Structure 1
């Protein structure tokens, strides 16, 4: 399959490298100049797994304006708030038959992509895969090979032959895909998961396992998840799992699956990039307000993350 990955960051590289190793023709498109130039200079990206065994993987990377082919599949891994800007720069190589896959963290990215691509050709979903960008041209894959899984779902319409073709290639890459049928239920389940661990680990500057070790971690998770589910119930969204089941998953993933992992929002905070909190906890707040509900826990977390972002200017004083 001819694939273009837009965004050669942590997750873009994880998906692209794995699919390339599975035999696909993969090209990377990125807008972060230090990253593009480092990959070009080194003729590839330096990959480690859990910080060990550094090795170079040869990949092709270019800026959006330099790519003029038409891929079968575009994999989009850009921060939610930059979706429209980057799609404008990439729309010239997204043909009428090209599918776009996005596994962005928050809610709203696929809706922005739909301004450029028919919803029937947008594949959304979630990724339970941990990856860390260590610097320009350097990425760390967290977990043993084959660890983690992904869910993919068409934004509109029933699963078609192409989404199953994508799933087949992902399975060859040991990404363990599951094809889902409920777009909103799939995306919101991961979003609510992220609204707990991403945000709290970022605010406290801790790893997921350190969060889970706190005596009231489960109670905090329950408060946030229940508040989100109240809004989701009002909207009529059928989640993939119940409230308490998601609380259990948050604790299990934090304690057992990825205890040494800093979530992506933490990585953004520590590298002075804007976070996606408005597309995660902020999405819960907006959904609650739509139905005349309050979401005070999530609203407070949004303000606290933005306060921490603003406080970075004082770090050297």
Structure 2
């Protein structure tokens, strides 16, 4: 399969480089950010890859702006910020061809509806990735965690895995993305959203690594558990069953923070310290909206959404400290 990764940020580079270098599949990158394209081309069409801040080395890539790209991939993989996707899709839409697949493994919710404007349901694969990655700068990515760690999960929008989906899963396995597949589309997507609603937003507000949250011995019981319960209550009201139970979700939060990537700064923090808007409206805010739409409330999720926006506003008075490059 030939892949094009739309968005050469942290996760876009992670997926693309693994598919190219480990799974040995042909990969192109389409980057809507002109500064990012310029930086990578100025480096000699290479990106710099590290793992846990070590072994930084150059990897050749093929990168294009949306208007430059003329390739014909089998699979489009989208790793954009939610608020940037609609404009990016308009820019790359002239290059879409019948039969191509669209994979959306982005943070938050809202992207699937946008992909449906261009692709049929059986061509759309929704996904989530529990894979820690940091973008140090344009064209400079750091894989966090040991090699062949982290997991990802996928589901067809149509609810039925096609032969093409199975081929993508095979390539993702070869690329050490450790994929799993389920026909439970919404349950697959929301499992990551509910996880991020706790870890990403709280770590961002306190400018903390994921593992540091556990310094408060009541973090899981007094902060994570009420937020998880609100999210699951919203899903229950909407008739959505997740892949994990509430108890399993809390166990996963503890395990990831304690054993898998304790030194990781989540993607929301990476946006926060670089002065960019966060995706909190597409994570915590989306959960609050889902709850209210189905007759229940999620006041903590709504409160956290507003607190993150308050923290964004406070950056002008108390600039955050960028800790991303620290070991």
TM-score by length of 2: 0.95
Q: Quick check: 200-209 or 302-311, which moved more?
A: 302-311
Aligned to 1:27: 28
Q: Which residue of structure 1 lines up, in the alignment, with residue 323 of structure 2?
A: none
C-alpha distance after superposition, 1:173-231 (max 9, x if no partner): 12111111110000011100000000000011100110022111111110100011111
Residue equivalent to 1:108: 110
Structure 2: 5+ residue stretches without partners:
320-327
**SS class of match (2:71):** coil
- Establish whether residue 281 from structure 1 lines up as the match of residue 278 from structure 2: no
The number of equivalent residue pairs is: 316
- SS of the equivalent of 1:48 reads strand
How far apart, in 2, do the equivalents of 1:210 and 1:46 lie? 28
Paired position in structure 2 for 1:299 = 302
1:77-111 superposed Cα distances (whole Å, 9 cap, x missing partner) = 00111111110001111111110101011111111
| Aligned-pair CA distance for 1:315 | 3.6
TM-score, with normalisation over the residues of structure 1? 0.98
SS state at 2:244 partner: coil
Q: Structure 1 residue 250 and structure 2 residue 253: aligned?
A: yes
Cα deviations by residue, 1:36-72 (Å, 9 ceiling, x for unpaired): 1121111200000000001000001110000022210
- Root mean square deviation, CA, Å: 1.0
Query: Following TM superposition, by how much is the alpha carbon of 1:284 offset from its aligned partner in structure 2, in angstroms?
Result: 0.7
Tell me how far 1:303 sits from its aligned partner.
Answer: 0.3
Structure 1 counterpart SS, 2:158: coil
- Secondary structure at 2:32 match in 1: coil
Structure 1, unmatched stretches of 5+, are: none
Q: Secondary structure at the match of 2:297?
A: coil
Matched, 1:117 2:119: yes
1:270, distance to aligned residue in structure 2 (A): 0.5
Q: 1:130-168, CA deviations, whole angstroms, 9 ceiling, x for partnerless residues?
A: 000001110000111101111111111300101110011
Equivalences for residues 213-232 of structure 1 within 5 A: 213-219=215-221, 220-232=223-235
Q: Is 1:57 the equivalent of 2:51?
A: no
User: Residue in 2 aligned with 1:181?
Assistant: 183
